[in-house]
Structure 1
């Protein structure tokens, strides 16, 4: 009885401490995403910048906040463990011994590592601009490093919320963190735009990453709603940035006295990359999973279908937004095939990753009873 009561007290304290830290980490990733969409819009609509611009400040502030939050939780967990106090894995996951000194919850260890590497690549980016001057390409070496570092921090944020799966805020936060990473990943695929051939690899990769992360939400929640919930949150982010990105670029240009480019067809660049068909795709995935719940092939086939739809619709979405010519038939066919093939992998990996996320959190009482039975 005493052990049960003590466990309940520890869990209550962990929940009270875990939610503010997790929400702060989530807010840090939102700040980074705001800085990214603002910076991309600035390069498109205005052009010139330096290392020290307001969008860059948002990018680096988000990473710094994530790093300080992660460090604070790691130090608190280490101090608690050394004092002999129980450490509940609801706060960021199970503690991992790090560098022989620290006890770091798995989620915060990953988010903190991403934030630290972001700082290193940021210093490299400053040196790069000082050596080569202004550049606006997404696939320069330091930019790729910055994008991958931010991706690691966002993946850590997903794990932090997944560790609190027994709480409603943990489940909702996991889907929200997945939506942030999905939106962010639409920039990463632009690094593939220089690949030649009849396949639009950016569109095929958009299908792969979209389905991968939506499927993670489905696998994590373990019941209908995970894929659709993630897609709805992506849509909310897309709508908010659709208004914010052009407005922020215009407002900042006016504040610093720089003119807007008069030959640019102003479109919210990052939101325009996010698949507008994602909610439909999520519904298709949910339906396929429900109908094939007894088959281990259901996630794989659902992934192929979803990625095919995203890859094919991406060209039509771009033509509609930018008022350009329609897609070419051969490119649509080859891109659709590539998207479907990548979708097979996205469905397999996404479902597995989602089930693995469930292992980050302590088992629920019902799950323990089921195992005992």
Structure 2
């Protein structure tokens, strides 16, 4: 008796452009962190300074690969992927993620001459959110959101059975889920960097810092937690963000850097590290546990937002109060791991508040508790928006 042969198993690989946009997202984040440390250590830069080039590489890679994918779907009318793509301007076809990447890349490249003009006109930036940097950050976040959505659309198609087991093996599906958390962690890094001036260890005993945290982070973390198919997506996203932030600050201080712009109050000889990031991985783990217990329709989203927002703020307040104090005041934090001895060349090393809290950043107990109450209300509203956004992301398949 002749054996019946089963049909061959077709394994569809993750598209190359997905790897490319996640890689470009990493280049953008590390280019931005390098640029901040360049300004802290060297000061003067130009349009084609090395950190800028790394960011431009990220923009060009994301725009080129995503643009090629859009043109491929637009002109290859028999391409089977065209049926699962989005049509825009009545001409082009492409995935939603690819379109975001193209728009973000164009915005980033547009901001480059604007930033160069700004420096030539006004000199060195004294804050992160200058007008050209704001345009640049919008472009960066658009590229990174495109990378997230590009990965997410494939993940959702696998989860919802639109790509069968004969087309997608388990290893590829798991890799896709990991790539989503990496892409989400990279975007979280940009979000944190944008707000870093309000979140430093010097502000860890002031409620304004926690109000900013309550507004900015619950919506993003809960959206990722709801959209991802992993068991602990928020924890992994927070871990990816922390490593993304820490690696450049662990490595670059080994390289020499000389200030090129006065006044030089602190004559440094090597790159100065950026600040140690928030310990979001701890409340992130708690949020994952809460979603395991009360998510998936077990609790109304408003009640779930109230629970997760409140718990998130209580956990992050306790964690950052003590960890921020350690970073700011302990001699054990003044090293190449925690960066508390890092100072830009323009800072006076004799200033008495480098390693103790300035009176401006201290509050009475009633004022601090009042501020934390406001932060909890902000976190609840932020969490509700995040759950709503996560519901939308779970439906993205194009």
Q: CA deviation at 1:171?
A: 1.2
CA contact (8 A) 2:42 2:259 kept: no
Question: Within 1, Cα distance between the matches of 2:374 and 2:271?
Answer: 31
Q: Give the total of aligned pairs.
A: 336
Q: Secondary structure at the match of 1:164?
A: helix
- The aligned residue for residue 322 of structure 1 is 328
Question: Within 1, Cα distance between the matches of 2:368 and 2:305?
Answer: 24
CA contact (8 A) 1:31 1:62 kept: yes
CA contact (8 A) 1:304 1:342 kept: no
- The aligned residue for residue 212 of structure 1 is 219
Normalising by structure 2, report the TM-score: 0.74
1:87 aligns with 2:81: yes
As a proportion of its length, which structure holds more helix?
1
Question: Within 2, Cα distance between the matches of 1:31 and 1:151?
Answer: 13
Q: CA deviation at 1:233?
A: 2.1
Write the deviation string for residues 316-341 of structure 1: whole angstroms up to 9, x where unpaired: 44432232335544464344233312
CA contact (8 A) 1:204 1:311 kept: no
Q: Secondary structure at the match of 2:80?
A: coil
Question: Within 2, Cα distance between the matches of 1:212 and 1:298?
Answer: 12
- The aligned residue for residue 284 of structure 2 is 282
Question: Within 1, Cα distance between the matches of 2:106 and 2:62?
Answer: 9
Q: Secondary structure at the match of 1:47?
A: coil
- The aligned residue for residue 370 of structure 1 is none
Write the deviation string for residues 242-283 of structure 1: whole angstroms up to 9, x where unpaired: 412433xx43x269999993379986325x2x212x222022
CA contact (8 A) 2:305 2:381 kept: no
Question: Within 1, Cα distance between the matches of 2:178 and 2:230?
Answer: 14
Q: Tell me: higher relative CO, structure 1 or 2? Use CA pairs within 8 A at least 6 residues apart.
A: 2
- The aligned residue for residue 308 of structure 2 is 302
Write the deviation string for residues 331-357 of structure 1: whole angstroms up to 9, x where unpaired: 643442333122112221222222322
Gaps of 5+ in 1: 363-373
Question: Within 1, Cα distance between the matches of 2:269 and 2:385?
Answer: 39
CA contact (8 A) 2:294 2:304 kept: yes
After TM superposition, list the pairs within 5 Å mapping 1:21-100 onto structure 2: 21-80=17-76, 82=77, 84-87=78-81, 94-100=84-90
Question: Within 2, Cα distance between the matches of 1:288 and 1:123?
Answer: 46
1:237 aligns with 2:244: yes
Compute the RMSD of aligned alpha carbons: 3.2
Q: CA deviation at 1:292?
A: 2.4
Question: Within 2, Cα distance between the matches of 1:190 and 1:238?
Answer: 11
- The aligned residue for residue 333 of structure 1 is 369
Shift in alpha-carbon separation, 1:263–1:236, aligned structure 2, 3 A: closer
After TM superposition, list the pairs within 5 Å mapping 1:55-204 onto structure 2: 55-80=51-76, 82=77, 84-87=78-81, 94-165=84-155, 166=158, 167-190=173-196, 201-204=208-211
Shift in alpha-carbon separation, 1:189–1:334, aligned structure 2, 3 A: farther
Normalising by structure 1, report the TM-score: 0.79
Gaps of 5+ in 2: 1-6, 159-172, 200-204, 330-354
CA contact (8 A) 1:96 1:106 kept: yes
Shift in alpha-carbon separation, 1:69–1:285, aligned structure 2, 3 A: same
Q: CA deviation at 1:215?
A: 1.4
Q: Secondary structure at the match of 1:139?
A: coil
- The aligned residue for residue 396 of structure 2 is 360
